[in-house]
Structure formats: structure tokens, C-alpha cells
Amino acid sequence: MAQSVHDVNISNIAPLIAPEALQRQVPLTPSAAQTIVEGRAAVERILGGEDPRMLVIVGPCSIHDEKAALEYGGRLAALAERLADRILIVMRVYFEKPRTVLGWKGFINDPNLDGSFDVSGGLRRARKLLLDLADMGLLAGTEFLDPIVPQYIADLVSWAAIGARTTESQLHREMASGLSMPVGFKNGTDGNSQIAVDAMNTARAPHSFLGIDMDGRTCVVQTTGNAYGHLILRGGVSGSNYASSTVAAVQAQLTGAGLPPRLMVDCSHANSEKDYRRQAIAFRDVIGQRVEGDRNIVGLMVESNLADGRQDLGDDPSKLRYGVSVTDACIGWDETDALLTEAHQALSLQPVS
């Protein structure tokens, strides 16, 4: 008997709904479309130096509960409106989680939190949540990990990130070159910023790669390049990288590579020494640099949730505490409101132009 040479380690292959079919089931509304178009344009103006406001990406490390996400979004939408003259707020709505070893891979991969891996349901629920947030008038940002996922939800996203583990990936750089919104590239987990600089230059160029079309057919995707790539400092194994001297060195590195020197700082991860309570230290330091005149620091990222801290996923999702992260620990809502209000007051001391 001939030995099998095909799908030796595959236990099952299940068909997935086509992107166009999902978009028919959860269609983009006119109000949501207006939010997305205006939001992307505003982010582009900030990255281009035409809008003097600060861009703040803030929200849960990951989404695991739509109800809590919508409550958080409602609060954030009100805060965004109140601070809009100095700060453009985008909610972190992260559905995919890259893992160093093993662990829950995120809401799209396992929306029921039980290992059932209902990816079709995850895509549908993720799209519905993004639509509900956009209908509130709230901008959403996400990290794209699987290169197929953007076809299902990218029309509802105003800002995107490529994470520290995937910034060096050629596949993700090519994907970013075709995304319809600005894309932030994080420095590598070792703290190396050159990886993100190279990613930005790569994503600015046209590419051709394998993907799927709106009918779910495998095809060759040709892109024109994304001019709105930018660097996100998130620290590394050697420690934080938000100090003014480091920021200046990275800005010089960007200029030397023929790129705009504007960048964003992630207050979490190594920049908080993986202690969520230290995010405020990084946040205030960077706001201080901006107030002192560094207008090339254009953005900040903060991991925040309804309640502070984190919890393990466990075997029974019904026992999870409401509004508490199941991945990285986050600051709570009260501290989030206070930090952003404080930043608004500090930035209000600067000239508008």
C-alpha cells in the first residue's frame, strides 16, 4: 500500500464563509462608513504633520467579551468627543494574539473561550463589534496577524498595527502595503528599531503576493504600497526605549532612511517593564517630551480596560470577572480617564499650529 504524502498532520479542513458573504450579513452602514473615512484621513493628517493633535491608541489588550467592549467603547466615545481638540482617540480592538509559545490566540480564533475554535463565528462577531463601535462614531485600531483576516474586517478599521513578532515578516510587510489604513510597525522584541524601519520602507513599495479575493478564491494580490507606515517604540529585552535620548536617536535613524521622523510610543510591554501600573510613567514622560517641543512624537498607545489587572482564562468562561483582561494586564477606566484628561490639559498649553 502506498504511503500517504498529503495532509499527513492535518486532522480537519473546514470551509470558511467568503468575505463578501460576511459583509452582506453584517453590512457597513452609512454612518459607520463616514466614521471610517474621516478617521483614516485624520490619522493620516497627524502622521503627515498637518494635524497638530496627539494620536492615542487606547483600549483592552485583547477583546474577549463584546458586552464589556461596547461598554468601554461607549465611555471612550464620550471621552474622545470631550478631548477632540487636542487628542484623536482610537480604541484598541485587538482580536488576534500572537503567542511566544502557547495560549489563547484571540477572539477570532476562539471566540467562545473554550477551545472550540469557531473561526467563522469569531469573524462574524468581530465584524459586528467593529460595526457597533463605528456607529457610535468611535475609531477602531487592530493588529492584523493572519493575512486573510483583513478581507473580512478591514473596512471597519481606521488604524492598524503589525506586532513586534511579525514586523520582520515579509508576508506581513507585503500585507501592510495593501492595507487601506495607516499601519504602525513595532520595533522587534529585542528592541531593534531597524526592523521596523526596514518594514516601513518595504511596505511603501508595491508588491504581489498570494491572498484571497472577496469571494474567498485564492488569487494573486497586487498592491500600490502604503505611504502611512510609522514606527512604534515598545521597548525590548534590554528595557524601555521612550527616553528622549533614545527617541531622538530613532528619529535620526528614520530620517537617515529617507522616512518621516514621526513616531509613536507604546507605554506597555517593555516600556512599562511589563507592569501595567508603570504605563503612566511612560505616558507622562512622553507627553512631557511633546510639550517641551518634540512634535515628531505623534502618538501614544495604552492598554486599558474597564477594570485594572488581568485574570487567567481558566476552564469556565462564565466565571471570568467582567471588564478584566485575559491577556496582558491593563490599567482601569478611572486611571485612563484621568491620564487622558491630564494629557489634554498639558497639550492645551501648546500653540495649536
* Mean pLDDT (whole number) for 321-329: 97
Q: Find the largest Cα–Cα distance for the chain.
A: 79
Contact between 333 and 298 (Cβ < 8 Å) = no
Residue 1 has pLDDT above 60, yes or no: no
* Mean pLDDT (whole number) for 98-115: 88
Give CA separation, 307 vs 238, 270, 321, in Å.
Answer: 30, 21, 9
User: pLDDT grade, residue 294 (50/70/90)?
Assistant: very high
* Domains in the chain with CATH codes: 19-310+322-346 (3.20.20.70)
Nearest Cα to 148, choosing from 172, 112, 116, 181? Answer: 172
Q: Distance between CA atoms of 271 and 164, rounded to whole angstroms?
A: 13
Residue 94 has pLDDT above 60, yes or no: yes
Determine what percent of the chain is predicted with pLDDT higher than 90.
92
Give CA separation, 80 vs 71, 74, 88, 136, 299, in Å.
Answer: 14, 10, 7, 11, 15
**Would you call 243 helix, strand, or coil by DSSP?**
coil
Nearest Cα to 62, choosing from 116, 129, 115, 132? Answer: 129
Residue 169 has pLDDT above 70, yes or no: yes
Q: In the prediction, which pLDDT does 2 show? A: 62
Scanning the structure block, which residue is given the C-alpha cell 531622538? Answer: 248
Residue 351 has pLDDT above 80, yes or no: no
Residue 175 has pLDDT above 60, yes or no: yes
Q: In the prediction, which pLDDT does 315 show? A: 87
One-letter-per-residue 3-state SS of 119-172: HHHHHHHHHHHHHHHHHCCCEEEEECCCCCCHHHHHHHCCEEEECCCCCCCHHH
Residue 283 has pLDDT above 60, yes or no: yes
Query: What does the block give as the cell for 72?
Result: 468601554
Q: Distance between CA atoms of 104 and 99, rounded to whole angstroms?
A: 8
Q: In the prediction, which pLDDT does 3 show? A: 72
